[in-house]
Amino acid sequence: MSGARPGTRHYTLVCSSCGTRYADDGLLLDCARGHEPAFLRTAYDGTGTRVGESSGLFRYAPLLPVARTFPDVPGPVVLPAERLGRRIGLDRLWVAFNGHWPERGAQLPTCTFKDLEAYTVLGRLPADPPVLVIPSAGNTAAAFAWAATKYRVPCLLVVPAPALERMRFPAPLDPCVRLVVLDGTATYSDAIACADLLARLPGHHAEGGARNVGRRDGLGTVMRAAAEELGRLPETYVQAVGSGTGAIGAHETARRLRTGDEALPRLLMCQNTPFTPLYDAWRDTGPAPAHREHEPLARELTNRRPPFTVRGGVRDVLGESGGAVRCTDNESALAAMALFEEVEGIDIEPGAGVALAALADAVRAGQVRRDELVLLNITGGGRARQARDLALIPAEPWLCVPWPGRDTGPLYVAEQVQRLLTGAGPVVVAEGR
């Protein structure tokens, strides 16, 4: 590890509701004032005292909320996509490819843009951090598992069983990374509910998801890389979303980058029917049907509790950018995945297929002009290619828990985790953290 001495910070945290400023301890997630839920945002000192790496993610270190950097962490790759654009009716389409595509310079170790957030969050931590508790549908867990293994940062990851198919690595995970697998019918939302309890265990701390400025600013490097390649901000930014963290991060970064009266990129967020909580919230049609959470092809998009009404959250960034939410079905997402591989020669993840399909629909509907400068975030790709290039080892769970159902499941999982940690005794859950 290199960079600033842990505890030295070149930024402050600012509440998006009341404006209160905080010195960051590497773990802070919320404003202490009594008001509506609101994101903290980073305010960088702009003195240039931090020096970034020469390439990769941490060349943006002066504008990331980190107290240390890690060497040789790849960053996003932004490329023109003329042929793909012609196929869907766009003249100025660019893609941000986050994954494994060596010929184009893309080398993210777990094949999604979650690597960008994982290394940034770990770089934000204090010198002797608590165990970070992180729920995931698969991609986030994979990114944190590998980054934490490389640098021996203690993490407790909670995933539903289908996530294991994405948990394959060049080497075994370090023992400091504990993987809890919810067997049976458990969903991503169930993993989130379990993590809420586990984060209250002694010596543990919630990573925070969208509330963590490290996540949002790390994912925002996609917009930084795009602005460098394009020489300006795109007119429209397209991304598949579950919580919307990446799109929020892109918007926050665009606000920092824009000059004069330059317009902010319009956000086009994309979800996968039939489970579309953000789309339903945006349209004010009531909650998404929980019993259909298993059905989307892109399970990484199935966050039942996205930060829609939080100050600085999805509703606010959609409003500020003049954005919209679109949906697409599994069949269209699969067709889009096949189209991308046919045209570009590399596989992409289901979430990226959802985004491409929704963008094509928006073009056909006249929501996106043919001559618009569009940045499509391919949030994951090259997994099949990586499996051919590298010998990968399936991750070994630290604990597999048969899922007893939503009513009793989270407490049961917390009890099992504590018994394994301490040998015996009832779960101890602190109030309110």
Strands (E), 336-429: 373-381, 393-394, 399-402
Q: How far is CA 24 from CA 18, 67, 235, 356, 387, in A?
A: 17, 10, 33, 37, 39
The pLDDT of residue 51: 55
The pLDDT of residue 429: 44
Per-residue pLDDT tens, the chain, 433 aa: give them: 333 344 469 999 999 999 999 999 999 999 999 999 999 999 999 744 445 667 899 999 999 999 999 999 999 999 999 999 999 999 999 999 999 999 999 999 999 999 999 999 999 999 999 999 999 999 999 999 999 999 999 999 999 999 999 999 999 999 999 999 999 999 999 999 999 999 999 999 999 999 999 999 999 999 999 999 999 999 999 999 999 999 999 999 999 999 988 999 999 999 999 999 999 999 988 888 888 898 999 999 999 899 999 999 999 999 999 999 999 999 999 999 999 999 999 999 999 999 999 999 999 999 999 999 999 999 999 999 999 999 999 999 999 999 999 999 999 999 999 999 987 544 444 444 3
What structural domains does the chain harbor?
A: 77-110+214-387 (3.40.50.1100)
In terms of DSSP bridges, do strands 40-44 and 11-15 run parallel, antiparallel, or are they unpaired? antiparallel
Q: How far apart are CA 167 and CA 97, in angstroms?
A: 20
Q: Residue 179 contacts by C-beta under 8 Å, 6 or more apart in sequence? A: 141, 145, 157, 159, 167, 173, 395, 396, 397, 398, 399
Burial (Cβ within 10 Å: 0-12, 13-18, ≥19) of residue 431: exposed
Q: How far apart are CA 36 and CA 110, in angstroms?
A: 36
The pLDDT of residue 7: 45
For residue 311, the 8-state DSSP code is B
pTM for this one?
A: 0.94
The CB-side HSE value for 289 (13 A sphere, CA atoms) comes to 7
